């Protein structure tokens, strides 16, 4: 095959069993970002850290979602970005179709937060609901921050866009929109507050028998840098310091408890563990298994 032809990967799907749950990582794509948006590490140091792990000089951020199947129901944790962040993203629906899952088979959507790479897939180009039956769950703090009064502002201009899009989401999904605290979305799947990246940023803890999984949302965006250097945040963090504190707390907890994780920006296939090493923390991705 000629070198100038694009060779596409097979669909971005990987399944993991968590007791009676089946959790599928569904890739939405990958997008480069400038090293300059990382906070707490100079751009040249970011690039050096990436090069040491055989990564491109500028960070490439994986965008992912998770399909949680249990007892005949389907819960989608986040919805990817549709076409809001460029042509390399928006692969969620095509990848779901490979599983034989269509949008009206999704019973509920559990959002980690309202940034466009997480909630962008909820509306189509005409502003209509992509998931016509889904109940939507979002944290009370997230709803309050974006929709509770005057729109927040930031130097990058992201907040106004999120406020506008979130307002549209709440209107379109209507009485299927639910703001919740730290409670179960379905039995065995509980929302967990992980503030910092946004005030209402959420994870979802899945527990069945002796098996557990924490889908940690945006605890990291560039895991090969931020797991080894948890002090490094992103310009997109609403509260960088709180994000750092939450990241350190979660890394301490999951490494001590040997808790399996999924994350929207973990490199595909999007499951693994964190262990302590002599200098701090290290990410250990799951071994690919042909059967679960």
Q: Which residues pair with 214 in a beta bridge?
A: 205, 261
Q: pLDDT tens digits, residue range 43-78?
A: 999 999 999 999 999 999 999 999 999 999 999 999
pLDDT of residue 4: 62
* Contact between residue 191 and residue 180 where contact means Cβ atoms under 8 Å apart: yes
- Residue 19 pLDDT greater than 50, yes or no: yes
pLDDT of residue 3: 58
Give the residue among 171, 166, 189, 159 at the shortest CA–CA distance from 74: 189
* Contact between residue 186 and residue 207 where contact means Cβ atoms under 8 Å apart: no
Mean pLDDT of 207-231: 98
Q: pLDDT tens digits, residue range 181-196?
A: 999 999 999 999 999 9
- Residue 231 pLDDT greater than 70, yes or no: yes
The full DSSP string for 222-266 is SHHHHTT-TT-EETT-SSHHHHHHHHHHHHHHHHHHT-EEE-TTS
134 token code pair: 């889904």
Q: Output the pTM of the full model.
A: 0.96
Q: Is the peptide bond before 269 cis (omega within 30 degrees of 0)?
A: yes
**8 DSSP assignment:** P
Express as a percent the part of the chain with pLDDT over 70: 99
Q: Which fold would CATH assign to domain 13-285? A: Metallo-beta-lactamase; Chain A (3.60.15)
pLDDT of residue 157: 79
290 token code pair: 């042909």
* Contact between residue 118 and residue 111 where contact means Cβ atoms under 8 Å apart: yes
pLDDT of residue 1: 44
The full DSSP string for 144-168 is HHHHSSSPP--TTSHHHHHHHHHHH
Q: pLDDT tens digits, residue range 129-174?
A: 999 999 999 999 999 999 998 878 887 778 989 999 999 999 999 9
Mean pLDDT of 203-228: 98
Position with higher pLDDT, 1 vs 185: 185
- Residue 228 pLDDT greater than 70, yes or no: yes
pLDDT of residue 2: 46
Q: pLDDT tens digits, residue range 79-129?
A: 999 988 889 999 999 999 999 999 999 999 999 999 999 999 999 999 999
Distance in angstroms (rounded) separating the CA atoms of residues 57 and 35: 8
Q: pLDDT tens digits, residue range 25-36?
A: 999 999 999 999
Distance in angstroms (rounded) separating the CA atoms of residues 104 and 140: 26
Q: pLDDT tens digits, residue range 256-284?
A: 999 999 999 999 999 999 999 988 999 99
Position with higher pLDDT, 173 vs 5: 173
Q: Name the pLDDT band for 8 (thresholds 50, 70, 90).
A: confident
Exposed/middle/buried for 78, CB within 10 Å: 0-12, 13-18, 19+?
buried
pLDDT of residue 5: 79
């Amino acid at each position: 095959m000629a070198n100038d032809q694009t060779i596409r990967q097979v669909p971005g799907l990987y399944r993991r069993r968590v007791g009676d749950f089946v959790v599928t990582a569904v890739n939405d794509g990958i997008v480069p970002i400038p090293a300059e948006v990382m906070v707490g590490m100079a751009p040249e140091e970011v690039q050096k850290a990436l090069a040491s792990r055989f990564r491109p000089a500028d960070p490439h951020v994986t965008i992912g979602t998770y399909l949680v199947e249990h007892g005949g129901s389907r819960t989608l944790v986040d919805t990817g970005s549709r076409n809001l962040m460029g042509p390399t993203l928006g692969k969620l629906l095509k990848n779901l179709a490979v599983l034989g899952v269509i949008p009206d088979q999704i019973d509920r959507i559990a959002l980690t937060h309202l940034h466009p790479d997480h909630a962008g897939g909820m509306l189509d180009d005409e502003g209509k609901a992509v998931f016509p039956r889904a109940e939507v769950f979002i944290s009370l703090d997230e709803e309050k921050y974006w929709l509770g009064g005057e729109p927040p502002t930031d130097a990058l201009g992201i907040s106004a866009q999120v406020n506008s899009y979130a307002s549209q989401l709440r209107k379109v999904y209507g009485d299927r929109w639910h703001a919740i605290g730290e409670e179960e979305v379905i039995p065995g799947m509980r929302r967990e507050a992980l503030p910092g990246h946004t005030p209402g940023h959420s994870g979802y803890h899945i527990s069945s028998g002796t098996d557990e999984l924490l889908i940690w949302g945006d605890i990291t965006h560039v895991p090969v840098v931020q797991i080894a250097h948890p002090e490094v945040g992103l310009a997109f963090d609403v509260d960088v310091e709180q994000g750092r504190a939450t990241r350190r707390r979660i890394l301490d907890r999951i490494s001590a408890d040997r808790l399996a994780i999924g994350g929207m920006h973990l490199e595909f296939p999007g499951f693994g563990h964190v262990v302590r090493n002599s200098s701090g923390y290290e990410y250990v991705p799951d071994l690919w298994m042909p059967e679960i």
